[in-house]
Structure 1
């Protein structure tokens, strides 16, 4: 009897000790996630600013080799520390946190090998456009100290661009150049950044950065002498360091342009095939090969063509699908005027589409974010080279709304029939809903709120173009054609991205293929191919991600039967933030195994 009692007491003691050890393991893990992610954030002043924080407010991210080396070593150290945690003692939630953080660090470490293969100056996301974009859209001025930090950033442009120039010249020595077409675009953007007074006194308008600073400083309502002094200091910094930095960059770019070639795909780079395979793995979060992705694209293009042909018959169009494409490209009824009034009408009508969809979100979603969404035209200094539409996250503190940017530089590239699909993709239920829900998650580490797995994020965006059809949107058959055209565009990306970077297609060959197989305008097709060339692999993530989400949804529907609830399915997908596709599949499998609860 005494032996039994002793055994019971001993077991209780051991179990209590295990619980205590498990608690310590989870506390250590949570402390690590918070500390490690904060350490990473502190290396990027620009990310801190985008998050609405004031640390390192007058600084830029560094392109210096020593700082890149430091970030690489930090990632290696953090991965070693992470793997020192007691994984088996973690809660399911912390195991998920562990798996995600490990995946992020592994990707960061592997990417270091390819740091010279990324083009830091390009027409899509290059530093030359990123400088004014951050100052204008993210650098808030709520105090005199904020204004001084803005001026410090203007002054710091010369140092920043010197670092970029060194990197460009190091790439040159390794035989790494963007294709020749990139240079006129980025030089043009850089020259436009220098336009306007006081940088160019011949212009009859103010420089975009100068105008932004003046507007923000005047809103502080400081005494006039102090306001004038701040504006004078900003003006001097623009005329000196800012201007010098850009002019030096333009000089380096002109020199590199004379040495660049017409070859487009990254197959031309040292170890280009291996680099492209890394890009595909990184963006799709799968092990699909370039050939598999290419074939998947060809098959899906054929499927969407068949659906579009049915719609062609529905609107009683006489002629084949190619003739229908030509009609949709050229008929004036589908385009806004190339005027300021036409551009404003586009923005106004887009807002109406978003408002109508927001009223229906409750039919498909449980959690609706509180963050606001604003529709805005891409600024003139970067619109000629920028993509047709993109989204900027809201600030976590609510100080800045989510922004859907529409590129209205050429209205012929923004047909009315694509407006709905674009609004749903960039706004709701697309990027704004998904990213805002992630930002508002509770009880998860900060890195989960801001994780960036492209196949998930862009797969959700493309899936969100389809979702509104299930609640009665796309009433106009031509808008439904636009939805199919946008889906076709992403299917075609699987073909042309792999064609360019794996099968050695030329830029013109890829443009011709798009024009032959999609209804998109020729100029839009050319700009898109130029985007895929400087962002190898990224464009494949959209369709791969959408296919996986639809596959998981239909699999869950089949297994759960009448217990399947689309709102609960979306809750599982969204409430974990952005994750790799294999982890998303595990989460959905677990939800299905629990009966859809």
Structure 2
């Protein structure tokens, strides 16, 4: 309406005002191009939800709750490829110069994302569909446990999940077929990853349906559900677990143990596979959103390890401890006051830390999410291989809270000096904070609201840890030491990931190097190394992203001087959602130019 009124007034005032007419025409053209782009990216996103219905559930869209996609099938892969090729062709037909600045950014991100997704199809990831860290069978258990993203509030919710079982069973069969195909082509998992995956699958091969995590929704029917529905669903649930789910988990487990494990490879690096070096180089570019090479990242990791070691030594001196880091670590092991008493004690302390941090975040932020999050223990079946902490996002409307999954398995084995840093990373102002804000940016197209870039997300999580002292945390030197220990691991990851996948390091070599350079014990080091083996390049994101955000903050502080406002800087980083690091840098630089101009104008 505003544009039509403006056009009418312009025509009445003067047909000879060429500059105004030209401006109006440009505005109309931009609006038209903007609308075409909006239609394209929204239609593309809508089709991705049809192809990935669980993603729809995760973002609070329940239209496809009765579906679970077999993303390993030839049909699915062909449909997905056709969608991306069609969308890319349409996007390339749009002239970026005809778009408004905001839409020009959306166009750039969309084209680059789709190109990257198509480029990834050069590599046979579908032949390695499972490991101990990223596992569809594990995820499906979470989905059906009543503690995941699938709702269990109505009879329809229960029936929807039963329908989803069909899709999972199809995926299970395809996984076995793809793993067999991988054997034929020499694309197989490292033996150690198969060994770690087997007990996770075996945990769901139960004798009684009532012992299965899948039975939890039946044990916890919502209030008000009719008795007849309860009775019917209970019997259906028992039959589904006994006759369908348990046999599926047993079949995949036995296949991996009897047929696949003997053919798994003794090597662990991606570069040991055919085309693996090129594959890893691609993953490095995708994960870091930079052109940094594995060699450059390895060298960066070594420099950061040395720097953080120096800061840890300074804390040891502050505590007046006589001895080196190894002696200090041994000293920490002897302090009972730094130990959790039980799993529940660990959970409670983290929940208390969450409450403290939540009250402090307004010190540094004026953009705060409405969604809340909970601290829950990692499920027993996956805690042996799970990270110390992980995050599952809240629904955009906050009806389903985010979840900070805390691994309580080693509660008695390590001091709780990393508690504050881990809470800052997974909760606020880390992952929960950033992702929740992004999902509520309704002015952005959905692929930007619900997408992401690993270097940005994990970089923000690690940057959030560095804010501890400014927030009023890390007052205890032990917690400060714990924060440095956490940061040290992110630097070590640069060394280990590139060592394993680009430099031919063995698992044992990586474990030995990490034990020498970190305060962690062998069980944690081993789990971390095996995580890097399972998900090449992901570990690179943390330090690369954090260093870039910290660099941009330092640049802003130097450029703006006394006028620097930390809340305004954080808003600049967060208010457009996740961005590739080079795009984030350009955005902050433009903001600084604008702020400088404002300062000069005010003088």
Q: 1:56 Cα shift? A: 2.6
1:11 and 1:369, CA in 2 relative to 1: closer, same or farther beyond 3 A? closer
Distance 2:23 2:546 in 1: 45
Q: 1:523 Cα shift? A: 0.5
Structure 1, residues 430-456: CA drift from partner, whole Å, max 9, x if none?
011111111111311111111220000
Question: Counterpart of 1:230?
Answer: 233
Q: 1:118 Cα shift? A: 6.6
Q: 1:9 Cα shift? A: 5.0
| Counterpart mapping for 1:92-491 below 5 A | 92-116=101-125, 119-136=128-145, 137-195=148-206, 197-198=208-209, 206-215=211-220, 218-254=221-257, 255-329=259-333, 331-337=335-341, 342-412=342-412, 415-491=415-491
Q: 1:66 aligns with which of 75, 79, 93?
A: 75
Distance 1:320 1:20 in 2: 68
1:414 and 1:102, CA in 2 relative to 1: closer, same or farther beyond 3 A? farther
Q: Note if contact 2:127-2:178 (Cα within 8 Å) is conserved in structure 1.
A: no
Q: Note if contact 1:493-1:539 (Cα within 8 Å) is conserved in structure 2.
A: yes
Q: 1:64 Cα shift? A: 0.6
Structure 1, residues 403-448: CA drift from partner, whole Å, max 9, x if none?
1000112224653101110001001110111111111113111111
Distance 2:231 2:275 in 1: 54
Q: 1:196 Cα shift? A: 6.0
Deviating above 6 A after TM superposition, structure 1's stretches of 4 or more consecutive aligned residues are: none
1:148 and 1:366, CA in 2 relative to 1: closer, same or farther beyond 3 A? same
Question: Counterpart of 1:17?
Answer: 25
Question: Counterpart of 2:59?
Answer: 51
**Are residue 41 (structure 1) and residue 44 (structure 2) matched?**
no
Distance 2:89 2:138 in 1: 37
Q: 1:10 Cα shift? A: 5.5
Q: 1:460 Cα shift? A: 0.4
Question: Counterpart of 1:201?
Answer: none
Q: Note if contact 1:283-1:538 (Cα within 8 Å) is conserved in structure 2.
A: yes
Question: Counterpart of 1:78?
Answer: 87
1:329 and 1:290, CA in 2 relative to 1: closer, same or farther beyond 3 A? farther
Structure 1, residues 347-383: CA drift from partner, whole Å, max 9, x if none?
1111111211111211111111110110000112222
TM-score with structure 2 setting the length: 0.93
Distance 1:419 1:270 in 2: 42
TM-align CA RMSD:
1.8
Distance 1:421 1:262 in 2: 36
TM-score with structure 1 setting the length: 0.94
What secondary structure, in the 3-state scheme, does the structure 1 residue paired with 2:467 have? helix
Distance 2:335 2:263 in 1: 42
Structure 1, residues 205-259: CA drift from partner, whole Å, max 9, x if none?
62111123341xx215333222111111111111112122112211221111011
1:173 and 1:19, CA in 2 relative to 1: closer, same or farther beyond 3 A? same
What secondary structure, in the 3-state scheme, does the structure 1 residue paired with 2:375 have? strand
Structure 1, residues 159-180: CA drift from partner, whole Å, max 9, x if none?
2200111111111112111111
Distance 1:418 1:118 in 2: 37
| Counterpart mapping for 1:489-500 below 5 A | 489-500=489-500
What secondary structure, in the 3-state scheme, does the structure 2 residue paired with 1:441 have? coil
Give the gaps of 5 or more residues in structure 2: 1-12, 599-603
Q: 1:6 Cα shift? A: 8.9
1:196 and 1:347, CA in 2 relative to 1: closer, same or farther beyond 3 A? farther
Structure 1, residues 60-91: CA drift from partner, whole Å, max 9, x if none?
12121221122122111111111111211111
Distance 1:28 1:247 in 2: 50
Q: 1:329 Cα shift? A: 4.8
308-317 or 379-388, which deviates more:
379-388
Distance 2:127 2:337 in 1: 41
Structure 1, residues 86-128: CA drift from partner, whole Å, max 9, x if none?
2111111111111111121122111111133773211111112
521-530 or 135-144, which deviates more:
135-144
Distance 2:17 2:340 in 1: 80
Structure 1, residues 254-276: CA drift from partner, whole Å, max 9, x if none?
11101112211111111111011
**Are residue 90 (structure 1) and residue 99 (structure 2) matched?**
yes
Q: Note if contact 1:157-1:245 (Cα within 8 Å) is conserved in structure 2.
A: no
Q: Note if contact 2:69-2:168 (Cα within 8 Å) is conserved in structure 1.
A: no
Distance 2:90 2:479 in 1: 52
Question: Counterpart of 2:5?
Answer: none
Q: Note if contact 1:117-1:176 (Cα within 8 Å) is conserved in structure 2.
A: no
Question: Counterpart of 1:202?
Answer: none
Distance 2:566 2:100 in 1: 27
Q: Note if contact 1:393-1:403 (Cα within 8 Å) is conserved in structure 2.
A: yes
1:10 and 1:553, CA in 2 relative to 1: closer, same or farther beyond 3 A? closer
Distance 1:318 1:413 in 2: 24
1:328 and 1:503, CA in 2 relative to 1: closer, same or farther beyond 3 A? farther
